[in-house]
Amino acid sequence: MDILLQQIINGLVLGSIYALVALGYTMVYGIMGLINFAHGEVVMIGALVALAVIRLLADSGLPGVVVALVGLGAAAPVCMAVGFTIERVAYRPLRRAPRLAPLITAIGVSIVLQNLAMLIWGRNYHAFPPILPTSQHEVFGATITSLQVAIVLIAALMMGGLMLLVQRTRLGRAMRATAENPAIAQLMGVDINRIISLTFVIGSALAAVAGLMVSANYSIAHYYMGFILGLKAFTAAVLGGIGKLGGAMLGGILLGLIESLGAGYIGDLTGGFLGSHYQDVFAFFVLICVLVFRPSGLVGEKAAERA
């Protein structure tokens, strides 16, 4: 088995998920200059809602893919509603407040959502039922499962769709105009409150997809899973250049690869002193390096001055 190729495949899968979540951070930042730290919790809610529905239908005899899609069909609207509500309740009243204020409510919302999820779903880990096809494919000595292929393809499709939406449609133009200059966008007739709401809703829909992917990929979901995932996706967004869609995608994929390759080789490199459980450290090492050496990110133009 080729370890390098295997780690690259794993990294791409992980990176696709990071990229989807990172898009949610970067879209909101691009349009309002705000880090929505509750976004990871939206992913968690997506995962848990999807999983609840999937467990309910696991023995129904329906094909696994259909069950997963029904789960997503339930999770997406819930996440969109949560995203919409977060903006309304936690951020809109603070639109003119100092930058720090919405950052603090973001953390508050994050804690509220975690505890809400804990009350609903408990503190236990929930197993993802083995409903999806587990066929494995050999590629040059490495294995890739159908699920992994599906994750990468679906993530690529969603990202492509989002790019088309933002670059080619009237709504996308309004989003970009609002991001560049909200006052002038209003003069053009853009209802910027509506655009901001839609941005949260679209980001949350992507989060629901990512939530399902994470829980399927690791076969597990948990009320606390959004925290670390959110931080990593945020790191990916910063790595790529926060506020840039292309940056979030690039940053997500890169971070997935760095983590995966790092975890795969750290044991050999340190003579067994550090093991693959140090995987999570890489993301934050990357975050620190980016903040120190290139705070604007890989595709960012100038240093972001907003907190």
Partner 1 sequence: MLEVTGLRVAYGGIQAVRGITFHVEAGETVALIGANGAGKTSTLKALARLLDAAGGSVRCGGREISALPPHELIAQGIALVPEGRGVFPRMTIVENLLMGAYRRHDAAAVKADIARMFGYFPRLEERAQQLAGTLSGGEQQMLAIGRALMGRPKLLLLDEPSMGLAPLMVQKIFEVIRSVAADGMTVLLVEQNARLALESSRRGYVMESGEITLTGDAADLLANPRVRAAYLGE
State the residues that interact with partner 1 by CB under 8 A. 170, 173-174, 176-177, 180-181, 183-192
CB of 194 to partner 1, least distance (A): 9
Q: How many CB atoms lie within 10 A of CB 126?
A: 20
Upper half-sphere CA count for residue 34 (Cβ side, 13 Å): 29
CB of 187 to partner 1, least distance (A): 6
Q: Is 219 left (phi over 0), alpha (psi -120 to 50) or beta?
A: left
Amino acid 156 reads A
The DSSP 8-state label assigned to residue 304 in this structure reads -
User: CA separation (Å) from 136 to 132, 133, 255?
Assistant: 12, 9, 25
CB of 210 to partner 1, least distance (A): 27
Q: Is the CB of 137 or the CB of 168 nearer to partner 1?
A: 168
Q: Is the CB of 18 or the CB of 29 nearer to partner 1?
A: 29
CB of 183 to partner 1, least distance (A): 6
Q: How many CB atoms lie within 10 A of CB 189?
A: 7
CB of 174 to partner 1, least distance (A): 7
Q: Is the CB of 55 or the CB of 173 nearer to partner 1?
A: 173
CB of 143 to partner 1, least distance (A): 43
- Written as one string, the DSSP assignment of 19-84 is HHHHHHHHHHHHHHS---TTHHHHHHHHHHHHHHHHHHHTTS---HHHHHHHHHHHHHHHHHHHHH
Give residues with Cβ within 8 angstroms of 67, minimum separation 6: 54, 57, 58, 60, 131
Q: Is the CB of 35 or the CB of 175 nearer to partner 1?
A: 175
Residue of 11, 39, 28 lying closest to 229 (CA atoms): 39
Q: Is the CB of 185 or the CB of 239 nearer to partner 1?
A: 185
Rounded to an integer, what distance in angstroms lies between the CA atom of residue 220 and that of residue 236?
22
Q: Is the CB of 55 or the CB of 88 nearer to partner 1?
A: 88
Q: Is the CB of 137 or the CB of 194 nearer to partner 1?
A: 194
CB of 238 to partner 1, least distance (A): 20
